[in-house]
Each structure stands twice: as structure tokens, then as C-alpha cells.
Structure 1
């Protein structure tokens, strides 16, 4: 498994993964995100197949936000989501971000379980957060300073260029 920055040629594969994973999708969001935050749009790749992606950006001096994370259905339960979280956390830590925030549907038990295992905690509930009216759960994780406890995040994953 390799991890690298998203490139324009990845758009169709990422969009397909996104359409499988999320009910409300907007293809323009992904290209806009790439144009605004290219360094925080990362993909997991096995051979020539995009197996997952994560999109994150620095929302303030201290906060990094994970905008989206998804893994292709046939590659789920192989640790790719966990690895993508590790890679984006390293990305944020290298930029001296103090904590990471994300939003997740209350009904998405699989994602909530992954985030909890990775050290994210529920902070508050946002009623009607999603367009269909479902509640969103805001989760956060505080990060160690860059260089401290790197072994928690590195694993055997290659560095992002």
C-alpha cells in the first residue's frame, strides 16, 4: 500500500469511492477542495488502484479538520482507513496542529468505532447537521508535538512527498 497526494487523474476513482460511501455527494466539492488544499488531499493506492482517500485541511492555527475519509468497499476491513487516519494525523502534526476535528453521522457506527479506536472522542452532537436532518457527532483528538511518539503514527507507511 502506498500513500500519496491526490492528482487530477485520480478524480474518477475517488468520485466512485465517494459515491459508494456517502449518500449526499457533490463532485465539485472534491475538485474545489483539491484546488484549495492540495497538500491535504491524500490517496491510498494498491498497484494502480485507488483504494481510499482522506481530505484534511488546517481550519485554524491549532485545528486540523478531516473533511472526508472513505475506503473502496472491496478493500474495507484491511486497515486502510486506519492507515489514512495515521497519515493525515502525521500531516497535521508536521504543521504543528494541536488537535484534529471531524464530523460523522450518528448512524455511521463503523466510522465512529474506527475513530474511537484511533483516539478520537465525542465532543458534542449537532442536531440536523446533515442535509437529510440527521444528527452529526463532532469528534476531536489532541495530537502529540511533532517528533514525540512518532512510533504511534508511523507504522510501516511511507512518507508523503
Structure 2
């Protein structure tokens, strides 16, 4: 099963460098290709979603295992991957549940990784207008979704009373 393979890969990437480096060098490119394909073939089932999420965790482990000097280049690969998983405000509402879950997980990861790697994040967004616009659209869509849920959760508070009293009983 793919998900289990990615979990094992994550463990290998977290091993001491003498063990991790050969696995990173040989399996890192295949992991990257898998994650790049997700934009074209979005997960349709909960199992496929879990495979992608485990793949992202393995990629994060690869970034952490990398030498400090190579980490910014790997973060510059990971961040656009996460942005590619985002949905804009037009497709968020009508997307399948697994795509919405991937969107939410990617947005959460970006909000966590952006501040951790702020220099790389800022330069990436500055140099790639399409990534910036996609991220902005996803944040807008997410905010609209949150606002819509808040409005639908409390409709009685905003509605006027259905019965109005015409007589003051005091």
C-alpha cells in the first residue's frame, strides 16, 4: 500500500545521515514525481487522500533531513507543491470531499511552513505571480467558506422574530 510505503520512507528519512542519504538520493525524485502528479489527478477517495498526505509528510521529512545549505532549495520545491493542491474560491464549494480535505491540509501546512521558512516563502511568492494569485484565491475561498458556515450556523440570531407583539402588556 502506497500510504504505508510513504510512512516507512518518512522513518528512513529521519534516520541518521549514513542511512538516510542513500534513500533520499534514490527515492526522493520518485516521491517528488508522485506529489507533482497530484495536481493533475486529485485524490478521489479517502485512501488516495491519505496517500498524498503521507507523501507530503515524507517530503517534509526529506526537507528536515537535508543539509542546512540545501534546505532552502528543497523548501522552494515543497511550497509550490503545496500551493498546487489549493483550490480557488470558485471550485472549493463544488469540489469532492477528498479534494477539499487536501486543500485544507495544504493551506494548514503552508500557514505552518511559511513562517518557518519566511525568506524562501517571500522570495518564492515575489518571483512567481501565479503562485501568489493562487494562494490568495485559496485564502479568499477558504475565508468565504468559513463565513458561509458561520452564517448558516446561526441564522436564527439574524432573522427578525416571526411573531411581533402589537400590544404592550405592561
Q: Assess same fold via TM > 0.5.
A: no
TM-score (structure 2 length as normaliser): 0.33
Structure number with greater Rg is 2
Larger strand share, 1 or 2: 1
Higher helix share: 2
